[in-house]
A and B are shown apart, each in its own frame.
Chain A
Amino acid sequence: AQSVAQPEDQVNVAEGNPLTVKCTYSVSGNPYLFWYVQYPNRGLQFLLKYITGDNLVKGSYGFEAEFNKSQTSFHLKKPSALVSDSALYFCAVRDRTGGYQKVTFGTGTKLQVIP
């Protein structure tokens, strides 16, 4: 069974500082990994994904994520946080060897960027 963990319910960071939102995963094979963002009263929006190749993935709005196979992690990062980045962030994993079209989502991390 596949699973994903977001160990922090909330992350607070000052505007202009770098931010990291953590994600670890567990799959039986090699993973596809995703980050989504949810603004209040909205649906999830896709930020970036890891398929294969370069471990550093760049996505929308200046976000990037680093895939670390040995640590089974896929942390979301941004060099300089904006107040407008405040939202709920979800990590998701899909096992590429499975035949079941299912994505497992983490429980979400609320990012608060303080002016």
Chain B
Amino acid sequence: NAGVTQTPKFQVLKTGQSMTLQCAQDMNHNSMYWYRQDPGMGLRLIYYSASEGTTDKGEVPNGYNVSRLNKREFSLRLESAAPSQTSVYFCASSEGGAYYNEQFFGPGTRLTVL
């Protein structure tokens, strides 16, 4: 099992450019999440998908959109990148259905917006 995979690993954008971060999991998990990690701030939830066909905003959704393409895939789109979106982005998944299920994380995408 590959677990949670993310592409790309690194990306540099100019202000105003758009891009999509891809995430896939092969654990048949229902729930998927997108986080950003910034120094001194821990992980902050951007969007989550409790199950296929549903998405909801997290703590910091502004400037982002998501698509739950199917049970395996959950993408994050930046429509018009801003320097404040420079961060490391992590996708995660969990079995869902019970709040005590742990999350499994991908390796991250390091994004720089110039």
Contact = CB atoms under 8 A, between A and B. Distances in A.
Nearest to A48: B102
Contact of B102 (A41, A42, A49, A90): A49
Interface residues of B, number: 24
B99 A101 contact: yes
Contacts of B40: 107
Contacts of A106: 42
Task: With a 10 A CB-CB cut-off, give which of A34, A42, A43, A46 has the most chain B CB atoms.
Answer: A43
Interface residues of A, number: 23
A103 B34 CA distance: 12
A67 interface: no
Given A43-B108, A46-B104, A94-B99, A101 B48 contact: yes
A43 B106 contact: yes
Interface of A: 32, 34, 36, 41-46, 49, 51, 90, 94-96, 98, 101-103, 105-108
Contact of A105 (B31, B42, B102, B104): B42
B43 interface: yes
A102 B96 CA distance: 11
Interface string B23-53: 0000000010000000011111100101000
B66 interface: no
The 4 closest A-B pairs by CB, nearest first: A43-B105, A46-B102, A107-B42, A105-B43
A90 B42 contact: yes
B110 to A, nearest CB: 8
Given A44-B90, A102-B48, A96 B107 contact: no
Contacts of B44: 105
Contacts of A46: 102-104
Given A43-B105, A43-B108, A102-B58, A96 B42 contact: no
